Amino acid sequence: RNRQRLETVAKQCRAAPAILLAEGDLEKVTQQATVVIAAAGPYAVCGEAVVRACVSSKTHYVDVAGETVWMHDMLQRYHEEAKSKGVVLVNACAQVCAIDDINCYLLAQRLGPLKNFREYFFSYGGTTGGTFLAGAL
């Protein structure tokens, strides 16, 4: 996102992380991996290139996105090709959905099998920069 900031952080690492700027670089990385875990957004801005590279390289993909419109778009664009190549695409793994998943699990443990699960919540506070930016696109 900001090369100078990335280089500053990279200098503090024990290993020598690469800074990827072009999609060609991204494909080189995904070709060397079995699974890519994408944990930096906003996904609506920088996520599709990672999904595309993973599907192209036959590399499984996991993210922690909470951007439902973006997730829908990615599944519409890449599901069939990923499925035909045996690639698993997993969105919203933990961060945003974990509380809902845990609540549903605990209810099912207490009440038995559920026909439906619907949760309502109310919160105070603001959005993260990534969430705000994704909603503004």
Cβ proximity of 58 and 87 under 8 Å = yes
Q: Is residue 90 left, alpha or beta, with left meaning phi > 0 and alpha meaning psi from -120 to 50?
A: beta
pLDDT of residue 22: 67
The stretch 122-131 carries a mean pLDDT of: 59
Q: Two tokens at 70?
A: 């973006």
User: pTM to 2 decimals?
Assistant: 0.67
Q: Two tokens at 54?
A: 């993973």
Pairwise pLDDT comparison (83 vs 115), residue with the higher score: 83
Cβ proximity of 6 and 32 under 8 Å = no
Cβ neighbors of 53 (< 8 A, separation 6 or more) are 23, 26, 27, 29, 30, 36, 59
Among 67, 23, 62, 17, CA closest to 41: 67
Percent of the chain with pLDDT over 70: 80
DSSP per-residue string spanning 30-71: HHT-SEEEE--S-HHHHTHHHHHHHHHHT-EEEE----HHHH
Q: What is the pLDDT of residues 14-69, one digit of tens each?
A: 877 776 666 678 888 899 999 999 988 889 988 999 999 999 999 999 998 888 89
pLDDT band at 130 (very low <50, low <70, confident <90, very high): low
Asked if the model's pLDDT at residue 73 lies above 80, the reply is: yes
pLDDT of residue 83: 98
Cβ proximity of 22 and 115 under 8 Å = no
- Per the listing, tokens 């549903």 go with 104
What single DSSP character describes residue 89? Answer: E
Q: Two tokens at 52?
A: 């595309």
The stretch 97-116 carries a mean pLDDT of: 86
Asked if the model's pLDDT at residue 125 lies above 80, the reply is: no
